[in-house]
Amino acid sequence: MKFEVAGKTVGVVGLARSGCAAAEWLLAHGASVRVTERADTEELRRALRRLQVASSAPLKRHWRTVSDGERLRAELGRHTRELLRGCDFLVVSPGVPEQALPLAWAREAGVPVLSEVELAARVCQGTIVAVTGTNGKTTVTTLLGALLPATKRAVIVCGNIGRPFIEIADEVGPETIVILEISSFQLLHCQTLKPSVAVLLNITQNHLDRHADLRAYAEAKRRLFANQNAHDWAVLNGDDPLVKRMSRRMQAQPVWFGKRSGVPRANPNEQAVWRVGELFRLPEEIIRRVLDQFRGLPHRLEVVATRRGIRFINDSKSTTPASLRWALQRVEPPTIVLVGGRNKGADFADVKALLSSMDGHRPKLVVTLGEARQFIARALRGAVVLKQAVTLEAALQAACRHAQPGDTILLSPGCASFDEFRNYEERGERFRALVQQL
């Protein structure tokens, strides 16, 4: 193990899935853990009870460096400086903003702050293949999870896609390939993460409610490549000007995909997967077979049902204007589109420009919904017929009133889900359920 935590006092900020996983791992490896969480819900209380059980489990002999009474202290519904006093370092959940009090106190005291991914990277013995970008991360990560077992090596998929990295860290041996989906929030507090292969799919406006501007967002993405050297690989989108500009500051060997790359696939996500397969010296026929057999993921242009001649498509994973534009260009008209949720600081000027250029193919109606409904309606005014609704259910009802046989009702929000739902999965599942009730 490269990084020893036994006997250290570690603060964990945020008790969502990655924070809880980090706290459990720290407790199991002999650390004294201090958990602080601003919210106080029944779900968080259940997580805390799991940690209390974990803190009472016996330690391995060589980690018996803290007394049972000191192993776990926690607070819900607040942050207090006293709880975190004396911590050797903090582990922060990706949902915790940079302005949160525990992070400000850590900066004042010079206490290191690590993401859960960084914690796992410090103990990971395997080969890391990391995937980031504004759109397409989960699709590419899933495809790589289907492809790389052809190397005859153990493969584990984790990170932003589902299981926290730290949850699987102890399962990783030197010959294991870890396929890691990683977000800009997780990258903010990575200092030593060094993927053997790092994939950057694209950079468009996203999370500007958390990052100061597009440049700061791009800099967070660039951290994925900061520790790579000439023995590592950077798989990059040659059609993205921001990615091309960023590549000038990378030390890894660049491998390009895009329109002029010569990769025998048109879809950029598939091109990126193809390039990674080549780096692992997989035969072309194996790469082609995996890509041909892929049938897409839930909540990504997923055809839910056809009711009374009307087709319903769930694209709840669309959480940015760029992903909304992508969907608008791929769904056959006539369409009625449900757009909205919680805006992440992005503007919709490019969406308006696309709608204005679609002529006879533009949607019959756009229903804006949720917190951002008025903002989006103002942004798209003049380009398309608009209606507004407060909830997803009301938006679907409005769409159904205007739909005719042959139409498609497309949920492609272009926004985060957190105004009404816990995540995009819950939003998509609610849309499915509403459609089934029609």
| pLDDT at 138 (0 to 100) | 93
Residue 133, pLDDT > 80, answer yes
Banded model confidence at residue 209, pLDDT cuts 50, 70, 90: low
Spatial distance between the Cα atoms of 367 and 376, rounded to a whole number of angstroms: 10
| pLDDT at 88 (0 to 100) | 97
- H-state helical runs in 263-391: 268-279, 284-293, 321-328, 349-357, 373-380
Any domain includes 3: no
Query: What amino acid is encoded at 389 in this protein?
Result: A
Least confident of 168-177, 202-211, 375-384: 202-211
- Reading the block at residue 184, the tokens are 């800009």
**Which of the pair, 206 or 278, is modelled with greater confidence?**
278
Any domain includes 266: yes
User: Is the backbone peptide bond immediately before 334 cis, with ω within 30 degrees of 0?
Assistant: yes
Same domain, 84 and 192: no
Least confident of 168-177, 200-209, 410-419: 200-209
pLDDT tens digits along 319-346: 989 899 989 998 999 999 999 999 988 8
- Reading the block at residue 130, the tokens are 């990391």
Spatial distance between the Cα atoms of 408 and 335, rounded to a whole number of angstroms: 5
Residue 301 near residue 313, CB atoms below 8 Å: yes
Residue 292, pLDDT > 90, answer yes
Query: What amino acid is encoded at 430 in this protein?
Result: R
- CATH number for 181: 3.40.1190.10
Same domain, 98 and 212: no
| pLDDT at 2 (0 to 100) | 64
The residue to which tokens 């077979």 are assigned? 289
* Start-to-end C-alpha separation, the chain: 55
pLDDT tens digits along 377-409: 999 999 999 999 999 999 999 999 999 999 999
Domain C-terminal end among 87, 111, 135: 111
Residue 386 near residue 366, CB atoms below 8 Å: yes
Residue 33 near residue 72, CB atoms below 8 Å: yes
Spatial distance between the Cα atoms of 301 and 330, rounded to a whole number of angstroms: 9
Same domain, 124 and 166: yes
Query: What amino acid is encoded at 126 in this protein?
Result: G
| pLDDT at 62 (0 to 100) | 46
Same domain, 211 and 240: yes
The closest alpha carbon to 240, from 254, 257, 216, belongs to: 257
| pLDDT at 205 (0 to 100) | 65
| pLDDT at 67 (0 to 100) | 43
Same domain, 345 and 235: no
Distance of CA 73 to the CA centre of its chain: 29
| pLDDT at 9 (0 to 100) | 96
Residue 382 near residue 410, CB atoms below 8 Å: no
The secondary structure of the chain in percent helix, strand, coil, rounded to multiples of 5, reads: 40, 20, 40
Same domain, 347 and 280: no
Query: What amino acid is encoded at 61 in this protein?
Result: R
Same domain, 317 and 368: yes
Residue 205 near residue 138, CB atoms below 8 Å: no
What is the chain's mean pLDDT, rounded? 93
Same domain, 106 and 122: no
Same domain, 310 and 428: yes
Domain encompassing residue 255: 118-293
Spatial distance between the Cα atoms of 425 and 438, rounded to a whole number of angstroms: 20
Question: How would you write 11-36 as a 3-class SS string?
Answer: EEECCCHHHHHHHHHHHHCCCEEEEE
| pLDDT at 213 (0 to 100) | 83
pLDDT tens digits along 59-109: 754 444 444 447 999 999 999 999 999 999 999 999 899 999 999 999 999
Query: What amino acid is encoded at 306 in this protein?
Result: T
Domain C-terminal end among 81, 111, 141: 111
| pLDDT at 204 (0 to 100) | 84
Spatial distance between the Cα atoms of 433 and 438, rounded to a whole number of angstroms: 9
Q: What is the pTM of this model?
A: 0.83
| pLDDT at 184 (0 to 100) | 92
pLDDT tens digits along 343-370: 988 899 999 999 999 988 999 999 999 9
Same domain, 106 and 154: no
Compute, in degrees rounded to 10, the torsion defined by CA atoms 60, 62, 65, 66.
0
State mean pLDDT over 24-28.
95
**β-strands 310-314, 302-307 pairing:** antiparallel
State mean pLDDT over 241-247.
95
Spatial distance between the Cα atoms of 384 and 367, rounded to a whole number of angstroms: 10
Spatial distance between the Cα atoms of 217 and 366, rounded to a whole number of angstroms: 29
